[in-house]
């Protein structure tokens, strides 16, 4: 399997105004990766906004599972263009059926108050092995695509919640370094898209570690329900970013993931939340 290039995945066709087509990727095979929908929705909306207005928030809803073998069409509704802020609604569909929707806001950067979460201590990414290298030559029972290089390189500070047996932890905090291994163009929109893609890869791992659950075990049902992001500062997704994640709540067959993203200097560049369906068949 060839490594998917983010720059290719985010290069949307525009067959008509406010309508875009995005290519898909082959894994995972059972449903389209949600991070790709997040990233391509930002790319589509951003193409309709002046370049001096970076994206600062996104609120998305996964309506139904998308087919990874079928292209995705994105329709952008230009809700409002104010003096400094632009609002967009994006609907993603396949075969005329809506699979995903998002509200996005773009705003010119302004001076103001600033504070942030504390940058957590973590082993440097250079001292950690890429996730795919951990399992490349092993026969542990995990999906084969975890053994392949991917569009985002992951380096876990602590052990990931696979392979089994998963050791239960008292704390749900989970640190992962991530970056796009390819050099990306100097386009802030593209780097925001890349971070959105990456933000959906490990955000729910803390709940599996907290409860000692193998995410790939038979009977585990996992599906993203919604996803929200706030972009606080400019960033480069092709340089190392530290994803500080936890799971503050789980109830009613749902779990809530929460994450703060920092660059190497310790600056918080984004905040992420996601709720997902999680059911364990006994």
Torsion angle defined by CA atoms of residues 48, 54, 57 and 63, in that order, rounded to the nearest 10 degrees:
30
* The one catalytic residue among 40, 94, 200, 260: 200
User: Is 1 a domain residue?
Assistant: no
Could you tell me if residue 118 is inside a domain? no
For 31, the token pair is 């449903």
Q: What's the CATH number where 253 sits?
A: 2.40.160.210
How far does CA 84 lie from the centroid of its chain?
27
38-68: pLDDT as tens digits = 999 999 999 999 999 999 999 999 999 999 9
- Phi and psi torsions of 189, nearest 5°: -65, -40
Domain limits for position 104: 6-109+123-280
Q: Is residue 115 part of a domain?
A: no
Distance, in Å, from the CA atom of 38 to the CA atom of 237, rounded to the nearest integer, reads 15
Q: How far apart are CA 251 and CA 253, in angstroms?
A: 6
| 116 among known catalytic residues | no
Q: Does residue 114 belong to any structural domain of this protein?
A: no
165-184: pLDDT as tens digits:
677 776 678 999 999 999 99
Mind listing the pLDDT tens digit for each residue in 254-279?
999 999 999 999 999 999 999 999 98
- Looking at residue 264, what is its pLDDT? 96
Q: What pLDDT band is residue 1 in, cutting at 50, 70 and 90?
A: very low
Percent of the chain with pLDDT over 70: 91
Q: How many domains does the chain have?
A: 1
pLDDT reading at 161 higher than 80: no
In a domain, 116, yes or no: no
Report if residue 19 sits inside a domain. yes
Catalytic residue among 224, 245, 260, 268: 224
173 found inside a domain: yes
Residue 51 lies in a domain: yes
Which pLDDT value is given to residue 267?
97
Query: Is 274 assigned a catalytic role?
Result: yes
If you average pLDDT over residues 118-135, what whole number do you get? 90
State pLDDT tens for residues 68-93: 989 999 999 999 999 999 999 999 99
């Amino acid at each position: 399997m060839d490594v998917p290039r983010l720059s290719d995945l985010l290069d949307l066709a525009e067959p008509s105004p406010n309508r875009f087509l995005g290519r898909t990727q082959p894994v995972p095979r059972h449903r389209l990766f949600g991070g790709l929908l997040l990233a391509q929705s930002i790319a589509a909306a951003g193409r309709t906004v002046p370049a001096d207005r970076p994206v600062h928030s996104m609120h998305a809803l996964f309506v139904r599972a998308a087919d990874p073998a079928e292209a995705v069409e994105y329709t952008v509704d230009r809700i409002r263009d104010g003096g400094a802020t632009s609002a967009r609604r994006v609907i993603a569909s396949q075969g005329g059926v809506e699979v995903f929707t998002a509200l996005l806001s773009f705003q010119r950067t302004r001076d103001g108050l600033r504070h942030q979460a504390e940058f957590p201590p973590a082993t440097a990414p250079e001292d950690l092995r890429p996730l795919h290298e951990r399992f490349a030559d092993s026969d542990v029972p995990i999906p084969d695509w975890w053994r392949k290089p991917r569009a985002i390189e992951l380096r876990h500070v602590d052990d990931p919640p696979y392979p089994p047996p998963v050791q239960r932890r008292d704390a749900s905090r989970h640190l992962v370094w991530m970056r796009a291994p390819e050099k990306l163009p100097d386009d802030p929109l593209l780097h925001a898209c890349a971070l959105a893609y990456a933000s959906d890869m490990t955000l729910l791992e803390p709940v599996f570690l907290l409860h000692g659950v193998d995410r790939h075990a038979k009977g585990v049902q996992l599906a993203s329900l919604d996803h929200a992001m706030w972009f606080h500062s400019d960033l480069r997704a092709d340089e190392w970013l530290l994803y500080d994640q936890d799971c503050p709540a789980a109830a009613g067959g749902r779990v809530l993931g929460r994450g703060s993203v920092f660059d190497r200097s310790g600056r918080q560049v984004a905040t992420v939340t996601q709720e997902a369906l999680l059911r364990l068949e006994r």
